[in-house]
C-alpha cells in the first residue's frame, strides 16, 4: 500500500466519523518558539490551550514535520530521519478514551478491501500508563485484547505533556509485532525493534503546572474539557504495509535513494559507508524539497540555516558517492516532487521555483566544497602527523572565514577521521575577527598583497586616471609593480604581477561589469592583462603575466584593451539597464536590482520579486526591450549631484553606496540609472536581446539570464535549425508543431497504457499452465513461480489469486509468485481454504520468502505480500517456501 493511499484511508475513516479534515499546515511554524513544525499536534496547540476556536470539535490531518536534533545520525541508522508525516485525529472537548481506542482498533484491523489497514489482530499489542485502569479496561473488555498483550508503563514512556505548563495526560501506544526474526519475545517492554510503535493515543485530561522535566511536574487538577491527540507515523506505517525493513525502503524514500544510486553508479546494500550516504541523500532531498515548497530559503540563520545545512549535507554525500562536480540535485529533487506530489499537488505546480532554489544552492556549495575539502584534508593530515586528536580552532576558522566551509560540516568531517575540533577557539576567532572579515570582503579582490601595500602605492602615485570611457588605448607609465605580495622595482619574463599605471583605459571590475583584458607594452617588456581590480578607491591594479622582457617601475608604456571584448561587455551592460527598466514597468517599482554580471555577449540580472515571474511577463519584457533597440535610442552619460539624479528618477542599485557626485547613464527617455560602467553609443548597437529564463537565487530574489548581440542571433539560429529539423521530421508547418507534438505525446501515452494492459493480460495467460504444473507435496498442490522482471506487484497478486482459483475447493493449494518490479523483489502468497485447514498460512509463507529476500512482509492467512532488497535471492526464497510447506504438511 503506497504512502498516499495510507493517508487517504486514514483521513477517509475519520471523515466518515464526523471529523473535519484539516490540510497539513506549513512547515514554517506559527509558534514563535519553534523554527519548524516538529510534531503533528503543533498546529493544534492553540485549540488545546484555548487560545483559538477550532473549526470543529473533531479534526483529522496528515501533517508534515521536520526534526533535526539528531541530524548527524541520519543515514548511520535506519531509524533516524528529518522529514516525516504524522497522521492524527483530534477531539477538542468531544469524545475521549471510550471512543478513540475502538476507533484505532477498527481502522488498524479492518480488512484492506473494506478500507482498513488489515493488521492481524494477534500481532497487535497495547501499552497504557501504569495506573490508567480506564484505558486498560477498554483494551481488555471493549476491544477484547488479551491481557498478556496489554502492558503498563511509567511516566517516561506513557505520559505526554508539552514540556511547559498546560494540558497533559497519560497515553496508550499501539505496537505491531514484526516477528521473531526481529528480536526477542516479551512485548514492547522487552524489545521495541521487534515490537514497532504504530500509533500513540494521548488523553489530555489534566492541567499541569511547574513542569520541570519529562517525569517531574505538578498536576493542578482535571481539565474542564478533555481532549484527544493521536499520532500515527505515516512512514512507519508504510514500512509495515509495504513489507520492508525500514523507512528508507518505502515508496517515498527508496525511489530517491535508488535514483541516487543509479546516478552515482552505486548499489545499495553492498557497502556500509555508501549505504549511509545514500540514506542521507534520500532523506535530505525529500526534506529539502518540502522545506523549499513551504517557502523556506537557504540562509545563514534560523530555518534558512536548517535548509542550507540539509542541502549541503546532501551535496557532500553525493560527492562521497563519487558524483564529483556533477550536479544531481535537479534530478533527485524531481524524483522527490513526483513521489510526494500525489499527497501534495502544489509540489508539481511549484516545481520550477523549487528547482531554482535548490539548484542555485547546489552550484554555490560545489564551489565551496572543491576548495574547502582540499584545505580540510591538509589540516587533518597535519593534525595526525603531530599525533594530535583535535583540529585547531584556527584551521576551522580559516575554513569558515576564507573558504565558506560551515563549522558543523567541519565538525562532522573531523569526526569521520576520529578527530574533534577546538570549537572554543573557533568561536573566539569568529568574535575577534568579524569586523576584519567584513572589511576584507568589502575590499574586492585584494590579491595576495597586504592591503597596506596598495595604500602605499596610492599615496605614492596618486589617484589613477581612468580614460576608458573615451579611449581603448592610452600612453602612460608604470607607477608600481607588485609580485608575490610585495612591491618590486622590476619583474622578469614569466612573473605574475600586479601593475599600477598612472593612467589607464582598462575598466576595473565593478558594478556587475567584468574587467577588461588586454596588453601593456613598454620598450622592453610585454604584460598580458587578465584581470583588473580596484582594491582601494582611486587605485586600479592590472593583474597578469610578463610574457617577455623586463618590466620596470617608471617605464613609459602603452596600455591597450581587447576592444571586441569591451564592446561585447558594454552591450551586455546597456542591455541590463533596459531589462531593469522593463521589469519595473511589468512588475512595479518593487522589482529592484539586486545584483548583475555583464559578460561578453551574455548577462545575468538579479532583482527583487515575491515569486516566480510568469513566462508571459518574460516575453513581454523581452519584446519591450527589443522595441527600444529598433528605435535606436541615444545613450548619454553625465555627472551630477546624487540629489539631482534621484530627483530625475535615476535608478540606483539597492544597498550600493554612492558619493555626492554620481554618473548617470540615460538610454533615451526609457532608462536612467546611476552607473560607473561602460556602454554602447546607441541602443541599436545591441542588435538583439534574448531572455533565456529566470530562477530564484535567494530569499525574494530572482535571476534572469539573457544573451545580447551576435550571441543572441546564434542562439536563435540554432533554435531555428532545431525547428526546421522538427518540421522536416514531422512533415508539419512551424505553427503546427506544438499541436503535432502534443498529439504524438498523447498517442505515446495511450500506447503505453495499452502495452501495460497487454503485459498484464500476458502475465495472467500463464495461470492455466502454472496450475497444471503444480507439484504435489503430501497432498498439497504447490505452485512457485518467478514472474518476468518488471511485473508489477498488483499483477503478481492477480496472478496468484487466479492460479489459486483454478484448484478444486477440496484440494489444498499454495501459490507463491515472486517478481522484481523496479529491481526490488516482491513476493505474493495465496492459500485456499482447504490449504488453510492443513495449517498453511499465506502470511507465514511470505515471511519465509521475504526474509530470504532481505526484507519482510505479512498479511492474512489467505493472501499476503512481502518484499526485500535482494532480487538475486528469488530462487532460494521460492525453494525455502516449498520446504516450509513440506515441513508443515508432513507433521
- Beta strands 218-233 and 195-209 are antiparallel
In angstroms, rounded to a whole number, what is the distance separating the alpha carbons of residues 27 and 10?
A: 21
Which tens digit of pLDDT belongs to each residue from 479-523?
999 988 888 999 999 999 999 999 999 999 988 899 999 999 999
Does residue 18 carry a pLDDT above 60? yes
* Mean pLDDT of all residues in 860-875: 88
In angstroms, rounded to a whole number, what is the distance separating the alpha carbons of residues 118 and 124?
A: 11
Which residue would you say has higher pLDDT here, 374 or 771? Answer: 771
pLDDT at 222: 86
| 523 domain-assigned | yes
| 723 domain-assigned | no
Contact 414, 421 (CB under 8 A): yes
Does residue 445 carry a pLDDT above 70? no
> Is residue 143 within a helix (H) or strand (E), and if so which, with residue range?
none
Which tens digit of pLDDT belongs to each residue from 125-148?
999 999 999 999 999 999 999 999
Does residue 662 carry a pLDDT above 70? yes
Q: In sequence order, what are the residues at sequence separation of 6 or more whose Cβ sits closer than 8 angstroms to the Cβ of residue 786?
A: 818, 819, 874, 875, 878
E-strand stretches of 373-488: 390-391, 420-421, 465-466, 473-483, 486-487
Query: Model-level pTM?
Result: 0.51
pLDDT at 446: 47
* Mean pLDDT of all residues in 410-436: 80
Kindly report the CATH number assigned to the domain that includes residue 474: 2.40.30.130
Same-domain status, 240 and 252: no
pLDDT at 257: 96
* Mean pLDDT of all residues in 435-450: 46
Last residue of a domain, one of 424, 443, 462: 443
Does residue 241 carry a pLDDT above 60? yes
Q: Would the annotation count 171 as a binding residue?
A: no
Q: Which of 722, 754, 758, 751 is nearest to 737 (CA)?
A: 722
Same-domain status, 458 and 438: no
Does residue 439 carry a pLDDT above 60? no
| 735 domain-assigned | no
pLDDT at 437: 42
Contact 135, 172 (CB under 8 A): yes
The residue behind cell 480506564 is 134
pLDDT at 442: 43
Q: Which of 142, 241, 250, 248 is nearest to 196 (CA)?
A: 241
Contact 821, 791 (CB under 8 A): yes
| 380 domain-assigned | no
Does residue 451 carry a pLDDT above 80? no
Same-domain status, 603 and 673: yes
Same-domain status, 15 and 78: yes
Same-domain status, 152 and 72: yes
Does residue 412 carry a pLDDT above 90? no
Kindly report the CATH number assigned to the domain that includes residue 769: 3.10.310.40
Same-domain status, 285 and 357: yes
In the predicted model, what is the mean pLDDT of the chain? 88
In angstroms, rounded to a whole number, what is the distance separating the alpha carbons of residues 44 and 90?
A: 9
The residue behind cell 470543529 is 56
pLDDT at 719: 86
**Alpha helices of 294-350 — where are they, by DSSP H?**
302-320, 329-341, 346-349
Give the rounded distance of the alpha carbon of 207 from its chain centre. Answer: 41
Beta bridge partners of 207: 167, 221
pLDDT at 869: 85
Same-domain status, 94 and 214: yes
pLDDT at 350: 78
* Mean pLDDT of all residues in 166-175: 92
In angstroms, rounded to a whole number, what is the distance separating the alpha carbons of residues 407 and 421?
A: 9
* Mean pLDDT of all residues in 784-794: 82
What band does 302 get if pLDDT is binned at 50, 70 and 90?
Answer: confident
In angstroms, rounded to a whole number, what is the distance separating the alpha carbons of residues 746 and 33?
A: 50
Does residue 539 carry a pLDDT above 50? yes
Least trusted range by pLDDT, from 48-57, 448-457, 747-756: 448-457
Kindly report the CATH number assigned to the domain that includes residue 192: 3.30.930.10
| 732 domain-assigned | no
pLDDT at 441: 40
Contact 532, 516 (CB under 8 A): yes
Does residue 328 carry a pLDDT above 70? yes
The residue behind cell 542541502 is 311
Does residue 852 carry a pLDDT above 50? yes
Residue 67 sits at the vertex; the CA angle it makes with 421 and 166, to the nearest 5 degrees, is 115
pLDDT at 418: 86
Does residue 823 carry a pLDDT above 80? no
Q: Which domain holds residue 870?
A: 756-890
Does residue 232 carry a pLDDT above 80? yes
What band does 191 get if pLDDT is binned at 50, 70 and 90?
Answer: very high
Same-domain status, 253 and 238: no
User: What is the DSSP-derived secondary structure letter of residue 768?
Assistant: H
Q: Would the annotation count 65 as a binding residue?
A: no
E-strand stretches of 178-266: 195-209, 218-233
Angle between helices 710-730 and 737-765 (to 10 degrees): 50
Last residue of a domain, one of 534, 561, 588: 561
Percent with pLDDT over 90 in the chain: 50
pLDDT at 324: 78
Number of domains in the chain: 6
What band does 763 get if pLDDT is binned at 50, 70 and 90?
Answer: low
| 325 domain-assigned | yes
Contact 676, 663 (CB under 8 A): yes
Same-domain status, 17 and 156: yes
- Beta strands 150-153 and 124-129 are parallel
pLDDT at 590: 65
pLDDT at 51: 67
| 741 domain-assigned | no
Does residue 652 carry a pLDDT above 80? no
What band does 444 get if pLDDT is binned at 50, 70 and 90?
Answer: very low
Last residue of a domain, one of 536, 561, 586: 561
Which tens digit of pLDDT belongs to each residue from 397-408?
888 776 667 777
Same-domain status, 43 and 185: yes
Kindly report the CATH number assigned to the domain that includes residue 630: 3.30.980.10
Same-domain status, 413 and 457: no
Among the ranges 290-294, 380-384, 394-398, which has the highest mean pLDDT value?
290-294
What band does 184 get if pLDDT is binned at 50, 70 and 90?
Answer: very high
SS3 736: helix
Contact 546, 535 (CB under 8 A): no
Residue 698 sits at the vertex; the CA angle it makes with 696 and 699, to the nearest 5 degrees, is 110
Same-domain status, 838 and 864: yes
Does residue 283 carry a pLDDT above 80? yes
SS3 547: strand
| 733 domain-assigned | no
Amino acid at each position: 500500500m503506497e504512502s498516499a493511499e495510507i493517508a487517504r484511508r486514514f483521513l477517509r475513516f475519520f471523515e466518515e466519523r464526523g471529523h473535519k479534515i484539516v490540510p497539513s499546515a506549513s512547515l514554517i511554524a506559527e509558534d514563535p518558539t519553534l523554527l519548524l513544525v516538529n510534531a503533528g499536534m503543533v498546529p493544534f496547540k492553540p485549540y488545546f490551550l484555548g487560545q483559538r476556536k477550532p473549526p470543529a470539535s473533531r479534526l483529522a490531518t496528515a501533517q508534515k514535520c521536520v526534526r533535526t536534533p539528531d541530524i548527524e545520525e541520519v543515514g548511520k541508522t535506519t531509524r533516524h530521519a528529518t522529514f516525516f508525516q504524522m497522521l492524527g485525529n483530534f477531539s477538542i472537548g468531544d469524545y475521549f478514551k471510550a471512543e478513540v481506542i475502538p476507533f484505532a482498533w477498527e481502522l488498524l484491523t479492518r480488512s484492506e478491501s473494506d478500507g482498513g489497514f488489515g493488521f492481524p489482530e494477534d500481532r497487535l499489542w497495547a501499552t497504557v500508563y501504569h495506573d490508567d485502569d480506564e484505558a486498560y479496561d477498554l483494551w481488555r473488555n471493549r476491544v477484547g485484547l488479551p491481557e498478556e498483550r496489554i502492558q503498563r508503563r511509567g511516566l517516561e514512556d506513557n505520559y505526554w505533556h508539552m514540556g511547559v505548563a498546560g494540558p497533559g495526560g497519560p497515553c496508550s501506544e499501539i505496537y505491531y509485532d514484526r516477528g521473531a526474526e526481529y528480536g526477542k519475545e516479551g512485548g514492547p517492554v522487552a524489545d521495541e525493534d521487534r515490537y514497532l510503535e504504530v500509533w500513540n493515543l494521548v488523553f489530555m485530561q489534566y492541567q499541569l503546572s511547574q513542569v520541570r522535566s519529562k517525569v517531574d511536574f505538578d498536576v493542578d487538577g482535571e481539565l474542564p474539557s478533555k481532549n484527544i491527540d493521536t499520532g500515527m507515523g505515516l512512514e512507519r506505517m508504510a514500512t509495515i504495509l509495504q513489507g520492508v525493513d525500514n523507512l528508507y525502503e518505502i515508496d517515498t524514500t527508496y525511489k530517491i535513494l535508488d535514483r541516487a544510486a543509479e546516478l552515482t553508479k552505486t548499489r545499495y546494500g553492498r557497502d556500509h559507508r555508501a549505504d549511509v550516504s545514500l540514506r542521507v541523500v534520500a532523506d535530505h532531498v525529500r526534506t529539502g524539497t518540502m522545506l523549499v515548497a513551504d517557502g523556506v530559503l537557504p540562509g545563514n540563520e534560523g530555518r534558512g540555516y536548517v535548509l542550507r545545512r540539509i542541502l549541503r549535507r546532501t551535496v557532500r554525500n553525493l560527492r562521497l558517492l563519487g558524483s564529483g562536480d556533477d550536479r544531481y540535485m535537479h534530478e533527485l529533487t524531481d524524483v522527490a516532487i513526483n513521489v510526494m506530489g500525489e499527497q501534495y499537488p502544489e509540489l508539481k505546480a511549484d516545481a520550477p521555483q523549487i528547482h531554482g532554489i535548490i539548484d542555485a544552492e547546489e552550484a554555490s556549495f560545489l564551489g565551496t566544497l572543491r576548495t574547502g575539502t582540499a584545505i580540510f584534508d591538509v589540516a587533518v593530515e597535519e593534525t595526525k602527523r603531530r599525533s594530535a586528536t583535535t583540529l585547531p580552532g584556527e584551521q576551522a576558522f580559516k575554513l569558515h572565514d576564507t573558504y565558506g566551509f560551515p563549522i558543523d560540516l567541519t565538525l562532522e568531517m573531523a569526526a569521520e577521521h576520529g578527530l574533534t575540533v577546538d570549537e572554543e577557539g573557533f568561536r573566539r576567532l569568529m568574535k575577534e575577527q568579524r569586523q576584519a572579515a567584513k572589511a576584507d570582503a568589502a575590499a574586492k579582490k585584494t590579491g595576495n598583497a597586504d592591503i597596506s601595500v596598495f595604500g602605499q602605492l596610492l599615496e605614492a602615485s596618486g589617484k589613477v586616471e581612468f580614460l576608458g570611457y573615451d579611449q581603448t588605448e592610452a600612453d602612460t607609465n608604470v607607477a608600481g609593480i607588485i609580485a608575490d605580495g610585495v612591491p618590486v622595482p622590476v619583474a622578469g619574463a614569466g612573473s605574475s604581477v600586479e601593475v599600477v599605471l598612472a593612467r589607464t583605459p582598462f575598466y576595473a571590475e565593478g558594478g556587475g561589469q567584468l574587467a577588461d583584458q588586454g596588453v601593456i607594452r613598454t620598450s622592453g617588456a610585454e604584460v598580458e592583462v587578465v584581470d583588473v581590480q580596484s582594491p582601494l578607491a582611486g587605485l586600479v591594479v592590472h593583474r597578469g603575466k610578463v610574457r617577455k622582457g623586463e618590466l620596470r617601475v617608471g617605464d613609459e608604456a602603452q596600455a591597450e584593451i581587447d576592444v571586441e571584448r569591451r564592446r561585447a561587455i558594454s552591450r551586455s551592460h546597456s542591455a541590463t539597464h533596459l531589462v531593469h527598466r522593463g521589469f519595473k514597468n511589468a512588475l512595479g517599482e518593487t522589482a529592484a536590482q539586486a545584483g548583475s554580471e555583464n559578460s561578453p555577449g551574455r548577462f545575468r540580472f538579479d532583482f527583487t520579486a515575491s515569486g516566480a515571474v510568469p513566462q508571459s511577463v518574460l516575453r513581454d519584457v523581452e519584446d519591450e526591450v527589443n522595441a527600444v533597440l529598433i528605435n535606436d535610442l541615444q545613450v548619454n552619460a553625465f555627472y551630477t549631484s546624487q540629489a539631482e539624479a534621484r530627483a530625475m528618477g535615476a535608478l540606483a542599485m539597492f544597498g550600493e553606496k554612492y558619493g555626492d557626485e554620481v554618473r548617470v547613464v540615460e538610454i533615451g527617455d526609457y532608462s536612467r540609472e546611476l552607473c560607473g560602467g561602460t556602454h554602447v553609443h546607441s541602443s541599436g548597437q545591441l542588435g538583439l536581446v534574448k531572455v533565456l529564463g529566470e530562477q530564484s537565487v535567494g530569499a525574494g530574489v530572482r535571476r534572469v539570464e539573457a544573451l545580447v548581440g551576435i550571441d543572441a542571433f546564434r542562439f536563435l539560429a540554432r533554435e531555428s535549425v532545431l525547428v526546421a529539423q522538427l518540421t522536416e521530421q514531422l512533415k508539419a508547418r512551424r505553427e503546427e508543431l506544438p499541436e503535432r507534438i502534443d498529439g504524438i505525446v498523447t498517442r505515446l501515452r495511450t500506447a503505453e497504457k495499452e502495452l501495460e494492459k497487454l503485459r498484464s493480460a500476458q502475465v495472467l495467460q500463464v495461470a492455466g499452465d502454472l496450475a497444471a504444473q503444480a507439484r504435489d507435496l503430501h497432498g498439497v498442490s504447490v505452485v512457485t513461480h518467478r514472474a518476468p522482471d518488471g511485473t508489477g506487484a498488483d499483477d503478481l497478486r492477480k496472478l496468484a489469486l487466479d492460479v489459486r482459483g483454478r484448484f478444486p475447493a477440496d484440494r489444498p493449494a499454495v501459490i507463491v509468485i515472486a517478481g522484481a518490479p523496479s529491481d526490488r523483489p516482491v513476493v505474493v502468497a495465496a492459500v485456499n481454504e482447504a490449504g488453510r485447514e492443513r495449517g498453511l498460512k499465506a502470511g507465514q509463507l511470505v515471511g519465509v520468502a521475504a526474509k530470504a529476500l532481505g526484507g519482510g512482509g505479512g498479511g492474512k492467512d489467505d493472501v499476503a505480500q512481502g518484499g526485500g532488497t535482494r532480487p538475486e535471492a528469488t530462487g532460494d526464497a521460492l525453494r525455502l517456501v516449498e520446504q516450509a510447506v513440506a515441513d508443515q504438511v508432513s507433521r
